[in-house]
Structure 1
C-alpha cells in the first residue's frame, strides 16, 4: 500500500476531489498550506493504482507542486478492498518519481560502495584461487554493484544527466577498485608463497570459464540487467536480483586481478574484455527494458550545452565499444560453434566415444585470431584401447572449416560402470 499526500490549490480542489470520488478513493483533507490558499489531501492506494490515479489527476489539471508518496504497512477504509480487487491483476509499473526514488535508495555513498566492492573482490579472489564456488557466491551477496547499474538506466530513460554520469562514474570506480584489490590480494598470495607461483590459472575451472567472451556469458549479463530493471519497476525486493548482477561482474573482475598478479596477459586480456562487455550489456538491457515499459524523460537531452556535447560524445564512444566488442564476440561465438561441431562430427564416427568437455586455450593476446589449443575430454566405453586417430581427425576437420592455427589434444577418461 502507498499513502499519497498532495497539496491542492483551492481552485483545483473540486476537480481533484471529483477524480478521487470517481475512482472510489477514500481521502481526507488533513491540513492547509502556510498562506491558506491550498489544502493537503491524503489518501491510501494499492501500489498498482498509484500510476493510474496520479495520471488521472494530471489530466484533470493538478500541478504537482507538492506530492509525497510513502509506503504503509496496511490501510483500512470503506473502499480499500474494492480498490485492491480492482487492481489485483493489473501490472502498473512504479511512477517515474517512485522509480527514481527506489533506485536512489539502493545506492551507497562513494566510500562505502568502494569498500564493499573491495571486500567482495577479496572474497571472490579467495574463492577463485581455492576453486570454491561457495566462497565465490558469498562475494556476490555483498557486492553493491546493482545500485549504480540501475541508477544509470533510470537516469538515461528519465533524462537525468547528473544521475547517469554519476552512476557510470561509480560503476567504473567500483570495478577498478575490485580489479586492483583482487590483484593486490592475489599478489600477496603468490609472492607470500601461499600458492604455487607457477600455478596455471587456466587449470582452475572457475577462472577457465571466464577467459574470453562467450554467447552464454553475454546472455547472462543481458538477462541480469533486464531482470534488474523489470524488478525495479515493481513493488518487490531487489536483493536477489542484485546478486545476479554481481554474479555477472565480481568473479570476472577478480579473475582479471588474479591474472595481473600472475603476469598472465592472455587471461587478463580475455577476462577484462568479458568484464567490459558484460557491464555494457547490463546497462543497455536495463535501459531498454525501462524504455519498453514506457518511461520517458520529462525533457529531452539536448546538445545546447558543453555538458550535453560531452554526454553525446560519451554515448558515441560507448556505442563504438559495444559494436566492436559485439562483432568480436560474434566472431568468437561462431568459431566456438565450428569447433564443437567438428569435435562431435569426428567423435560420431567412432563407436563408444563421447565428449565430456571441450576447452580452448590461446597462445597470444589475440583470442579471436591467434593460435589456440583445443583440448577434448572424452570417454571410451568399448573394449580395448580408445581409437588413436581422433585428434588428427578433429584437426583435419577444423583445417577445412577454419583458417586459424589450431592444435588438437584428446584426453580419454576411464570410468567403471556398476553392473
Structure 2
C-alpha cells in the first residue's frame, strides 16, 4: 500500500475526495478542512494499493494540484486492516510487479544530479578497481562493482528515452561522462604518483589471469550487461534493492574505468582501448535492455492493469472512510 497526502485548495477538495472514493483500491480516506497552512488549503489523506496508484495519481495531477497544492506519496510497510486487504485483492496484478511511474520519475531525476557524493563514490570505486587490477585480486574488483553508483544515471537515460524526455537523457549522459572522467582522472593521478614512488611498475599488468576479463570485451560481456540491465530496471521498479546489488556485481563498468587509469599511468596503451571498449559495451547493453524492459512494462501494465479496475467502488460498505 501507498499512503497519499494531498494538499488542495478548498475548491478542489471535493474532486480529490471523489477520485479517492471512486477507486475500489483506495481505503482509509481522511479529510482535514483548512488544516494546510503553506500552501493554504485542505488536507486529504488515504491509502491506495500500489497496483492502482498510477490511475489515482494521474487523476490528481489533472486537477493541477502540482501548482495549487501538493501530493506526497509514502510506502506503507504495514497496514493491519481488512479493508486494505480487500483493496489489494481488487487491484489488478501484484504489488511487486506494479510500476509507479511518478515514483520512478522522481528517483531517476535524482540519480542524474552530479553531487559530491556521486563523484566520491565513483572515484573511490574506480581506485579500488585499479588496485584490484594491479594485484590481480577479483575480490577487490567485486568490491569496486558494489560501490559504484553508475547504474542510477543509466536507468535515468532509459526512462528519459522511454518518455522522450531529452533533458533527462542529456542529464544522465552528462552525469556518466563527468563522473567517469573525474574518477579516471583522480585514479590516474594517484597511479602516476605511485609509479613515481616506485610502488607500481608496468610489469604488474603483464600477467593477471584472474582479472584479464576486464580487457577482453566480447559477446558474453554484452549478454551479461543486457541481463544486468533487465534485472536493474526490475529491481528499481519493484523496490528490490538486494537485487540491485547483484546488478552492480554483474557489469564491468567501474573495473574498466579503473583499468583505463592504471593502463595510462603504466603506458599499457593497448589495454586503454580494450578497457574503453569494455566500458562502452557494458553501458550500451544496460541501456538497451533497460529501455526495452521499461517499454514492455508500460505496454503490459496499460493493457492488463488499469482496465481491470471497475469504475465504481466494490469494497464492502464497512470499509473505514472519513471525511
Query: Is residue 182–residue 257 contact of structure 1 (8 Å, CA) maintained in 2?
Result: yes
Higher helix residue share: 2
1:251 positional shift: 0.7
Q: Indicate whether 1:275 and 2:284 are aligned.
A: no
Deviation at 1:156, TM superposition (A): 2.3
Q: Aligned pair 1:49/2:52, yes or no? A: yes
Q: Identify the match of residue 154 of structure 1 among 159, 167, 178.
A: 159
SS of the residue corresponding to residue 241 of structure 2 reads coil
Q: Closer, same or farther in 2 for the Cα pair 1:279/1:24, shift >3 Å?
A: closer
Partner residue, 1:144:
149
Separation in structure 1 between the aligned mates of residue 123 and residue 260 of structure 2, nearest angstrom: 14
- Uncovered stretches (5+) of structure 1, i.e. residues with no partner: 296-419
Q: 1:296-318 deviations in whole A, cap 9, x for unaligned?
A: xxxxxxxxxxxxxxxxxxxxxxx
Aligned 8 A contact 1:125 1:185 in 2: no
Structure 1 residues 30, 242: closer, same or farther in 2, change over 3 A? farther
Match of 1:287 among 287, 291, 295: 291
Matched with 2:180 is 175
- The aligned counterpart of 2:87 is 83
Q: Aligned-residue CA RMSD in angstroms?
A: 3.1
Is the 1:9–1:38 contact (alpha carbons within 8 Å) kept by the matching residues of 2?
no
Q: What is the CA–CA distance in structure 2 between the aligned matches of 1:23 and 1:217, rounded to whole Å?
A: 43
* Greater Rg over alpha carbons, structure: 1
TM-score, structure 1 as length reference: 0.61
Task: Pick from 16, 35, 42 the counterpart of residue 19 of structure 2.
Answer: 16
> Does 2:268 align with 1:264?
yes
Cα distance in 2, alignment partners of residues 188 and 207 from structure 1: 23
Q: CA deviation at 1:58?
A: 6.7
- C-alpha change, 1:13 and 1:51, in structure 2 (3 Å) is closer
Q: 1:159 to 1:182 in 2, by over 3 A?
A: same
Offset of residue 129 of structure 1: 0.9
Residue 4 of structure 1 is matched in structure 2 by 4
Query: What's the secondary structure of 1:159's corresponding residue?
Result: coil
TM-score (norm 2): 0.77
Q: Is the Cα contact below 8 Å between 1:9 and 1:39 reproduced in 2?
A: no
Match of 2:216 in 1: 212
**Residue matched to 2:311:** none
> For residues 192 and 128 of structure 2, what CA distance do their matches in structure 1 show?
14
Partner of 1:308: none
- How far has the Cα of 1:190 moved from its partner? 3.3
Shift of 1:182: 3.1
Match of 2:107 in 1: 102
Call closer, same or farther: CA 1:37–1:17 in 2, change over 3 Å.
Answer: farther
Q: Which residue of 2 aligns with 1:70?
A: 74
Aligned match of 1:117: 122
- Could you say what secondary structure the match of 1:27 adopts? strand
Distance 2:277 2:249 in 1: 19
Does the 8 Å contact 1:151/1:164 carry over to 2? yes
Residues 341-394 of structure 1: CA deviation (Å, up to 9, x unaligned): xxxxxxxxxxxxxxxxxxxxxxxxxxxxxxxxxxxxxxxxxxxxxxxxxxxxxx
Residues 123 and 136 of structure 1 are in contact (CA less than 8 Å); yes or no, is this contact kept in structure 2?
yes
Greater length-normalized contact order (CA 8 Å, ≥ 6 residues apart): 2
Deviations 1:171-219 (A, max 9, x none): 01122223323333333333422234434x2421244222232000011
Secondary structure of residue in 2 paired with 1:29: strand
Deviation (angstroms), 1:112: 2.2
